[in-house]
Structure 1
Amino acid sequence: MSRCPGWEALDVLEAAPDGPVAFCADLSPAGLLAAYRAGVYPFPASDEYTRALNEVVFADQVQEGGIRLVGEEPADPFAVSWWSPDPRPVLPVSAAHLSRSLARRLRNRLLWSTSLDRGFERVLRECRGDRAPLWLTEELIASLIRLHELGHAHSVEVWEDGDLIGGVFGLRVGSVFSMDSMFFRRPGASKVAVSDLAARFAQAGGELLDAQRDSPHVRDLGCILLPREQYVGYLRRTARDTRPMPTGTLPARRLAQPAASR
């Protein structure tokens, strides 16, 4: 089997466009950050059946070298698959906008506010919820919380009368922000969270929000498809941009105004 010593030695451009590019059990904060910098994100197996299915379905490709094993840890690599789709759905921050109907609701009657990093773990737990498959494992959550403490992972929260009604979280790599998950408890709240993230990230020099997996929902947010080669090249060019995003609780209705007037 072909094994890479670390993510820096993995060339994702050689991998298949629509399947896992690697297996690696290392979900440590350092390992997770290195993977995101390489353009790869994790999908932990939710149970032993899923882990075994990974091995049954992909063992031959691993043996042939089409899918790599990363790291030298003794833990079972098939417990976590790692993905780098080609093409990649991304949202340029300059193109982020709310639908006319949602913008009108914010202007006229929705007294929502937004914040940055005010409830990171709460957003993670809400995103986890009772979703299946349960990819947000406790091990992954612990590493994400540590990366948040180190300033690499962030969340945006949407509030209504003190209640958390929506949010989004992910990791920043330079001027790319990779959105891991989002949730809503009021219609439109997750879209407001993404729009707020785009606005704050733009002020910090950010340029792309990465939606990771293509779907009708992310297309509805305005995402476009970027070839993986361009996405990975973008990560490599911008990895050293560390200007912080602005903090503070702000009225969500500002997002319903033209970008130039916010």
Structure 2
Amino acid sequence: MSRCPRWEALDVLGAAPDGPVAFGADLSPAGLLAAYRAGVYPFPASDEYTRALNEVVFADQVQEGRIRLVGEESADPYAVSWWSPDPRPVLPVSATHLSRNLARRLRNRLPWSTSLDRRFEGVVRECRADRVPLWLTDELIASLVRLHDLGHAHSVEVWEDGELIGGVFGLQVGSVFSMDSMFFHRPGASKVAVTDLAERFAQSGGELLDAQRDSPHVRDLGCVLVPREEYVQRLHSTARDSLPMPAATLPARRLAEATGSR
């Protein structure tokens, strides 16, 4: 059984492309940020059954050293699996777009507005609501909120007449923003949130949105697949500091004209 004391020591590029690259229980703000900087994101077990299943399915690979354990020996490693898919779905900020239909709706009648970091925890908890499996655990949310307080985690909110109807949140690592989750209560609201995030992030010097997991939904946003090695190189080649994203509350209809909607 092989254990890494720190994420910096993990050979992410040598890990399997389609399974967990590590197990480890550390969801502290510092541990979480270090993992994202290594190109890895967490998937906490939602209950004891899922935790036990992790051990049953992957214990042999852990014993053989093909999956590493990260963190202190005293903690239960199988409580959290850590992932770094290969390939990785990403969205260059310059390539964001809205569908022609959604752009038309914004221009003609939708009274939506967008904001940055106005309701971070609210967006996180909306993303958690009614989700199965429940990977946004209380411990993970607490660390995300702390990272938000420290300026590493951000959210974009979409509003209609004062009601929160959509949003996206995640962590920033230099010029890469890793999107953890998004939600919507009106059709198209999550796509507006991502497009707004791309615009604000581009204005701060950001280059790439990371969707983490491939799906038809993220492909519809315009994501493309890149090799994990390329993604990790982008993380390591970017500066840790960048300009703050613009925080003003703005009309969402501006996105219909600004992103080259198709």
CA distance in 2, matches of 1:196, 1:240: 22
Give the deviation of 1:47 after TM superposition. 0.2
Identity of aligned residues (%): 85
- TM-score normalised by L of structure 1: 0.98
| Distance in structure 2 (CA, Å) of the matches to 1:102 and 1:65 | 48
CA drift at 1:241:
3.4
1:49 shift after superposition: 0.2
Shift of 1:233: 0.4
- Equivalences, count: 260
Tell me the secondary structure at the aligned position of residue 127 of structure 2: helix
CA distance in 2, matches of 1:72, 1:122: 32
How do 1:113-192 and structure 2 match up within 5 A?
A: 113-192=113-192
Cα deviation for residue 151 of structure 1 reads 0.0
Q: In the TM superposition, what whole-angstrom CA distance separates every residue of 1:198-240 from its partner, at most 9, and x where no partner exists?
A: 0000000000000000000000000000100000000000142
Post-superposition CA distance 1:48-73 (Å, at most 9, x none): 00000000000000000000000124
- The separation in 1 between residues aligned to 2:136 and 2:114, in whole angstroms, is 24
Asked if structure 2 preserves the Cα contact closer than 8 Å seen for 1:26 and 1:73, the reply is no
SS in 2 for 1:14: coil
Secondary structure class of the residue paired with 1:257: helix
Q: Which runs of 5+ in 1 are unaligned?
A: none
Q: Letter of the 1:129 partner, please give it.
A: A
Q: Give the C-alpha shift of residue 108 in structure 1.
A: 0.1
Could you tell me whether the CA contact under 8 Å between 1:168 and 1:181 is conserved in 2?
yes
Task: Map 1:219-230 onto structure 2 (within 5 A).
Answer: 219-230=219-230
Report the equivalent of 1:11: 11
Letter matched to residue 115 of structure 2: S
CA contact (8 A) 2:96 2:259 kept: no
Shift of residue 130, structure 1, vs aligned partner: 1.4
Where does residue 197 of structure 1 map in the other structure?
197
In the superposition, relative to structure 1, how do residues 152 and 208 fare at CA in structure 2: closer, same or farther (>3 Å)?
same
AA aligned to 1:58 is F
Structure 1 equivalent of residue 108 of structure 2: 108
Q: Is the 8 A contact 2:98 2:259 kept in 1?
A: no
Secondary structure in 2 aligned to 1:154?
Answer: strand
- In the TM superposition, residue 259 of structure 1 has moved relative to its aligned partner by 4.1
1:63 aligns with 2:56: no
Is residue 34 from structure 1 mapped to residue 42 from structure 2 by the alignment?
no
Match of 2:258 in 1: 258
- CA–CA separation in structure 1 for the residues paired with 2:241 and 2:206: 8
AA matched with 1:60: D
* CA offsets 1:60-118 (integer angstroms, 9 cap, x no match): 00000000000124110000000000000000000001000000000000010000000
Moved over 4 A (4+): none
Is 1:96 paired with 2:100? no
Q: Distance in 2 between matches of 1:88 and 1:6?
A: 23
Whole-angstrom distance in 1 between the partners of 2:251 and 2:259: 14
**Is 1:241 paired with 2:241?**
yes
Q: Deviations over 1:112-159 (max 9, x none)?
A: 000000000000010000110000000000000000000000000000
Task: Summarize the alignment of residues 211-222 of structure 1 with structure 2, pairs less than 5 Å apart.
Answer: 211-222=211-222
Q: Secondary structure at the match of 1:155?
A: strand
Q: Which amino acid aligns with 2:68?
A: R
Question: Quick one: distance in 1 between partners of 2:259 and 2:49?
Answer: 48
Distance in 2, Cα, partners of 1:180 & 1:231: 16
> Which amino acid letter does the alignment assign opposite residue 92 of structure 2?
P
Query: 2-side partners of 1:161 and 1:182: how far apart?
Result: 20
In the alignment, residue 164 of structure 2 is paired with which amino acid? L
Letter in 1 for 2:82: W
**8 Å contact from structure 1 (residues 37, 239) kept in 2:** no
Counterpart residue number, 1:85: 85
- 8 Å contact from structure 1 (residues 106, 112) kept in 2: yes
The CA distance in 2 between the partners of 1:184 and 1:247, in whole Å, is 21
AA partner of residue 219 (structure 1): R
**C-alpha separation in 2, matches of 1:93 and 1:154:** 16
Please give the root-mean-square deviation of Cα atoms over the aligned residues, in Å.
Answer: 0.8
Q: Which consecutive residues of structure 2, in runs of 5 or more, have no partner in the other structure?
A: none
